[in-house]
Amino acid sequence: MTSLLPILPALLLGLGAMALLIVGVLAKPEPAGFTTWGAIVLLVAAALVSCAAPDTLLFHGLLKTSLFTRFADALVYTAAVAALLLALDYNRKEGIARFEYPILVLLGVLGMVVMISAADLMTLYIGFELQSLALYIAAALARDSVRSTEAGLKYFVLGALASGLLVYGISLVYGFTGTTSFAALAGLLGANIGYGAVIGLVFVIVGLAFKISAAPFHMWTPDVYEGAPTSVTALFGTAPKAAAMALFLSVMTGPFGHLLAQWQMIIEILAIISMALGALAAIGQTNIKRLMAYSSIGHMGYALMGLAAGTEAGIQATLIYVAIYVVMSFGAFACIIAMRRRGQAVEKISDLAGLAAQRPGFAFAMALFMWAMAGIPPLSGFFGKLYVFSAALNAGLVTLVIIGIITSVISAFYYLRVIKVMYFDAGAPDFDAVPASVNFVMAVGAAVTALFILLPAPLITAASAAAKALMG
């Protein structure tokens, strides 16, 4: 049982998903609520078991567990549970409460866990594809909606392209080094590097950049965020981002860690383009989900600043930023899911007019998340940016920090515009009551975002230990 403990979370997710699938097929009527709560229980159980797993290599070096993987796994489990809680009421009201959705979430999370724990390029690709295939289907969950099916198709086509680029990069690295093991690659690439392996590395970076929706590989993000059901968009904006960023950190500092001089400039360019696009493209958006899509692109740019630093402090800063972003994001999506009038979901920013007059708690929570995403102190988002800016500055990336500050100021415009609409624009005061599950996620997100300044030590200490485990 001791040897099974490190892979027990993956077994719980995989076997649990199969069990729920059988229950869903056989039970009549469809037990959407049962499978959702069953998936939440499995995710919580997997998270608890993951915390107790020892540091080890599994399957002859194909997988590994460490403080870093446990930190990233915790973010993924937390985001997935929040997404399922948000889906409980929303999916039922939208007529898409199907038992398959929680199972897709479980399989997607299983792929994310494999990605995070990958110690070999082949394992990385298996986890990458398992996550992707589950999310493609989830995007098209509302199969009677043209927007949802279009979102699923766009995500699938562009995702297949990214997967092809990633596997081509992996094949080049293998062809020029003769191995796919992270540990073996670290030794080989440190001693002797050829142009073929560097080209392969570039293709790997492109595939991973697509997953975190870093510009210029972001083209799927606005359309998929807008077209997918909002409960699914809440999942897309949190768990996959945390898993892909963790994988990005693991790959760049592990097998390719000795090639910092070759890939640092690429990461800097990705960060700059992402921050600039996220700041400028969101200004003209009228749909709140598209605004969140461009916002996520910008936030991934800030997170990449820590990776570009190439230091332990940079990795710690990125982990802190991603953790804070996940909480802000699922809190903001809880507010977006609560945007209902007369039983109909609304998505326009202008629909928030008059919210503060009727539901001051809801409006205050949304304002908190917008302030935090803008990086306004003393909320958690400010500290996330402070850490990545500090890490980049200490690494000598002064230009990157200056651009980051400028784009932060620009992006504050569209975040504050949302607050202005809620508090100062007149609107019809007919917002529906917020469901308990959505209220819970919203309240937890708001509390963590607002009170982070009072108790930052646990996250900072955990991120520091995770960074040391990855770099050491």
Domain-wise residue ranges, the chain = 5-471
Instruction: Indicate the helix (H) or strand (E) that contains 13.
Output: helix 8-26
Digit-coded pLDDT (tens) for 277-308: 999 998 988 899 999 999 999 999 999 999 99
Digit-coded pLDDT (tens) for 416-437: 999 999 888 877 667 888 889 9
Non-local (6+) Cβ contacts of 110 within 8 A are 10, 13, 14, 17, 130, 131
Once rounded to an integer, what is the mean pLDDT over residues 194-220?
88
Locate all alpha helices (DSSP H) within 228-259, ordered by sequence: 230-236, 239-253
Sign of CA dihedral 256, 258, 262, 265: positive
Digit-coded pLDDT (tens) for 4-28: 788 899 999 999 999 999 998 888 7
Backbone conformation region of residue 56, classed left if phi is above 0, alpha if psi is from -120 to 50, else beta: beta
| Token pair listed for 103 | 């199972």
Cβ atoms 182, 255 nearer than 8 A: yes
Cβ atoms 299, 293 nearer than 8 A: no
What is this structure's pTM? Answer: 0.94
pLDDT at residue 191, rounded to an integer: 56
- How do beta strands 56-58 and 63-65 pair? antiparallel
Non-local (6+) Cβ contacts of 27 within 8 A are 34, 99
pLDDT at residue 429, rounded to an integer: 62
Mean pLDDT estimate for the chain: 90
| Token pair listed for 377 | 């102190």
- End-to-end CA distance of the chain, in Å? 28
pLDDT at residue 203, rounded to an integer: 93
DSSP letter assigned to residue 255: T
Confidence of residue 197 (pLDDT cuts 50, 70, 90): confident
Cβ atoms 387, 305 nearer than 8 A: no
| Percentage of residues of the chain with pLDDT beyond 90 | 62
Once rounded to an integer, what is the mean pLDDT over residues 375-401?
93
Give dist(CA 69, CA 64) in Å, integer: 8
In this predicted structure, the answer to whether residue 256 has a pLDDT above a threshold of 90 is: no
In this predicted structure, the answer to whether residue 261 has a pLDDT above a threshold of 70 is: yes
Confidence of residue 47 (pLDDT cuts 50, 70, 90): very high
pLDDT at residue 81, rounded to an integer: 95
Helix, strand and coil content of the chain, in percent to the nearest 5, comes to 80, 5, 20
Confidence of residue 1 (pLDDT cuts 50, 70, 90): very low
Locate all alpha helices (DSSP H) within 181-238, ordered by sequence: 182-191, 195-211, 221-227, 230-236
pLDDT at residue 332, rounded to an integer: 93
DSSP letter assigned to residue 76: H
Give dist(CA 379, CA 372) in Å, integer: 5
